Amino acid sequence: MLDEGVIKRTLSAALRTGGDFAEVFAEDKRATSARLDDGRVEELSSGRDRGVGIRVVSGETTGYAHTADMSEDGLRTAAEAAAAAARGGGGGERIVDLTRVTAPRPNPVAILPETIEKAVKVALLQRANDAARAESAAIKQVSARIGDSRRRILVANSEGLLAEDDQVRTLLSVQTVAAGDTGMQTGYETVGFTIGWELFDRVDVEEHARKVARQALTKLDARPAPSGTMPVVIGPGGGGVMFHEACGHGLEADLVGKGASVFKGRVGELVASPLVTIVDDGTMPEEWGCFAIDDEGTPAQRNVLIQDGVLTDYMWDHLRARKEGRARSGNGRRQSYQHLPMVRMSNTYLLAGQHDADEIVADTDHGVYVKHLGGGQVNTATGDFVFGMTEAYLIEGGKLTEPIREGNLIGNGPEVLTKIDAVASDFAMGNPGMCGKDGQGVPVGDGVPTLRVTELTIGGTAA
């Protein structure tokens, strides 16, 4: 995207007034979206965003400037603005020698989505719409969307690093609304990977839509969720978001450094059940949060955060790792060239255990089985959370019985980690997601095997 000589001269300009560290981040992103609502095309869009962000660090001060002008003059102006913002001093020239860093692409991409005609995408969405509606006359609304993107990045810095990545993502989401005596009930599910249009060679579009329709139809016969504290069994994949939100954010080094994490100062301590091992892994092939390099040029890594219940490490970005004199973990991420990087998760998951999933349910006399969790709220400083249950069932006498609706899971992340008493071998990743933090969103993945929490509070509406 940028000539190597231009990059060197830009970094030199950024350091001319005495900065300690300078970085150039260039991005070229293309994205398309097609959405069908009730059989009509409501959105058919495409866009491209190109630009460069330049960061200069002087002592404890960071200056940042970004520009869509990718000419050498534009880059020099941005570099000087970032340097001025960092209030560097000392003057002089600094020559930067760049060494290209290569990181293996996590997985190949066979068919770039940008080569697919919009008419083909609309036809695929129509198939999803027809399949969902054919499931039952009670399906009153169907919305289907295809989104794809290609993001090319280049990172260079004054330590001599030069690295590039080419990230492709493709997804399909379907939402349905069913109407019955209990009112309107919804179903929703997304499937997506860091691959191209070949996604639809492996995903049965009609079956995906029927599955979402059945999710909404099942809720028509569901009873209100109970209220109170009881055992909760979380199914494979669908409950990963709880550990991402309630525990993962607390393991990000910037929040730890600010004292906004319950895990601050606890490395080496037993913070979870010995059955719990939590990993953040940007190298997972095809998963939504995978990449070759993070947004600071560090190759993606597999980082064990909690091992057999013991907190082993936090996630780190470049500057915090540099300050602490430790290795980077590949967790420096940003939404776009217009944003500073910060510590972010990639694919965060709880490793599989040795229990049998069916036996975990059979061994639970009374409780709730959660197949899918929805959105929620988390206080990272305390770990307190509330998550909506989008698909859940009662457990009675060791068996799944009636579906339930309108319920929340309420608890505390660190406490939940200590109350896990069974972890199955049926690990699965959940739906692709976007994680928000300080106004920035980045793609992430999460996953869990079937597991049981001995007690969680269910906030239901049943009397």
What is the model's pLDDT at position 98?
Answer: 74
What is the model's pLDDT at position 92?
Answer: 52
Structure tokens belonging to residue 245:
């939100």
The 3-state secondary structure of the chain, one letter per residue: CCCHHHHHHHHHHHHCCCCCEEEEEEEEEEEEEEEEECCEEEEEEEEEEEEEEEEEEECCEEEEEEECCCCHHHHHHHHHHHHHHCCCCCCCCCCCCCEEECCCCCCCCCCCHHHCCHHHHHHHHHHHHHHHHHCCCCEEEEEEEEEEEEEEEEEEECCCEEEEEEEEEEEEEEEEEEEECCEEEEEEEEEEECCCCCHHHHCCHHHHHHHHHHHHHHHHCCEECCCEEEEEEECCCCCHHHHHHHHHHHHEHHHHHCCCCCCCCCCCCECCCCCCCEEEECCCCCCCCCCCECCCCCECCEEEEEECCEECCCECCHHHHHHHCCCCCCCEECCCCCCCCEECCCEEEECCCCECHHHHHHCCCEEEEEEEEEEEEECCCCCEEEEEEEEEEEEECCEEEEEEECCEEEEEHHHHHHCEEEEECCCEECCCEEEEECCEEEEEEEEECCEEEEEEEEECCCC
What is the model's pLDDT at position 90?
Answer: 52
What is the model's pLDDT at position 183?
Answer: 87
Cα pseudo-dihedral 407, 411, 415, 418, rounded to 10: 0
Given a cut of 70, the residues of the chain with pLDDT beneath it are: 88-96, 463
- DSSP-derived pairing of the beta strands 223-224 and 399-405: parallel
Where residue 129 falls (left for φ over 0; alpha for ψ -120 to 50; beta otherwise) is: alpha
pLDDT in tens, 237-272: 988 998 998 899 999 999 999 999 999 999 999 999
Q: How far is the C-alpha of 57 from the C-alpha of 40, rounded, in Å?
A: 51
What is the model's pLDDT at position 463?
Answer: 55
How many CA atoms within 13 Å lie on the side-chain side of 176? Answer: 30
- Cross-strand pairs, 429: 447
Query: Cα–Cα distances in Å, from 104 out to 18, 100, 285?
Result: 35, 13, 11
pTM of the model: 0.94
Q: How far is the C-alpha of 57 from the C-alpha of 68, rounded, in Å?
A: 22
